[in-house]
Amino acid sequence: MSCGGIPAAGCARDASAQALPASPARTAVVWPRAVGPVVPDPKIEARIHDLLRQLTLEQKVAQMMQADIRYVTPEDERKYRLGSVFNGGGAFPGNDKHAAVSDWVALADRFYDASIDSTSGAPAIPVIWGTDAVHGHNNVIGATLFPHNIGLGAAHDPDLIERIGAVTASEVAVTGIDWTFAPIVAVVRDDRWGRAYEGYSEDPEIVRAYAGRIVRGLQGVVGSPSFLNASHIVATAKHFIGDGGTANGVDRGDNRASERELRDIHAQGYIGAIGAGVQTVMASYNSWQGVKVHGHRYLLTDVLKERLGFDGLVVSDWDGVDGVQGCSKDHCAHAINAGIDLVMVPTEWKAFLENTVAQVRAGDIPESRIDEAVTRILRVKMRAGLFEKGRPSSRPL
């Protein structure tokens, strides 16, 4: 479906969806006002500003796309300059689940080389590769596997959790990957939820404490030489927010908690993770009081980015925008306007890119929102040192 030229029916619905209230009227006074521990670097912010001015609208929107390695090639990366790629469940280099570490690094090199190829005149912006290393580097044969979070929570050993994070980070970095979609910081309030094993605890204080420790293990300690150095990777607190508290434990269901309960129970893991400097947050498939989180501006922007002081990037879940009213797998102005910065659009990324550009030109998405999203993406890449680290195969590990 294309939103260019004469609008398709799906695109018309998308525009109308933006006229709907993002949520019932709320006030943010019940949420703590915080500032993340990573002090903004004026040099990085100046570099971002300079780079943003060099990008065309198409190049900006491309930075907001994240495609699965089964549906994007290094040559696609060279042409379109996507901001990110990832290996979803069952995705391996060459479709070989027994791929060696050298195969992972070789593919990472190819994507990296394509992303910084400036022969066409496009600015060199390293692609960032994400993976679900949720209990060790669990997609790679021979990597160390650790218990799922339910087991780690039962161990009641925060030091162990931080060490596990550090080992996982090192093993992910060795394969040329810079980013893990972990930790899961759901506070599980109904054991019927099919993903209950992914949570540390039903106790929000335990989840808050463990979230901070696993983030420090994965990313290193903010303010120290270990922070996002060669042996550490970018972490993700997920799934924001309330996935562990849906009615009757229904996956992707509706969390009907009051706002105070949402803060005191389901937000605690994010408060702990942000306090440790987590650089990315993944939106959740579930709804809160009937509104899908992927399209919930109040939660994604007013609460997460403004009140909780999160200055990294917000990434969608796998085709998560598809659940937002008026959206589909190939367009969702509503989710971008709500605060999604990077769209995990595994298969339909070309159409999503084209449609998003058309929606900006039609005035459905302010270009200032695109600029803010790309600023956050570039900030994370620069903090992670991607512009300086070089090819994955050339890094110290």
Please identify which of the residues 243, 317, 341, 364 carries the catalytic annotation. 317
CB contact at 8 A, 282 and 318:
no
In 3D space, the residue among 197, 132, 136, 194 whose CA is nearest the CA of residue 164 turns out to be: 136
Helices (H), the chain: 9-17, 42-54, 57-63, 74-80, 101-116, 149-155, 158-174, 204-219, 259-261, 268-275, 297, 333-338, 349-361, 367-383, 386-389
Residue 374 · residue 64 · CB < 8 Å: yes
Please give the DSSP secondary-structure letter assigned to residue 238: E
d(CA 217, CA 209): 13
Report whether 181 contacts 282 (CB < 8 A): yes
Residue ranges for the chain with pLDDT beneath 70: 1-29
What is the DSSP track for 243-300? GGG-GGG-TT-EE---HHHIIIIITHHHHHHHHTT--EEEEPSSEETTEEGGG-HIII
Residue owning tokens 């491309």:
62
pLDDT, tens digit (0-9, with 9 covering 90-100), for 245-284:
999 999 999 999 999 999 999 999 999 999 999 999 999 9
pLDDT score recorded for residue 34 = 84
Provide CB contacts within 8 A for 189, sequence distance 6+. 202, 244, 245, 265
Instruction: Give the CATH H-level superfamily of domain 33-394.
Output: Glycoside hydrolase, family 3, N-terminal domain (3.20.20.300)
Record the pTM.
Answer: 0.92
Q: What is the pLDDT of residue 122?
A: 93
Radius of gyration of the chain (CA): 20
Per-residue pLDDT, 21: 39
Residue 132: what pLDDT? 98
Say whether 116 sits in a helix, a strand or coil. Answer: helix
The reply to whether 317 belongs to the active site is yes
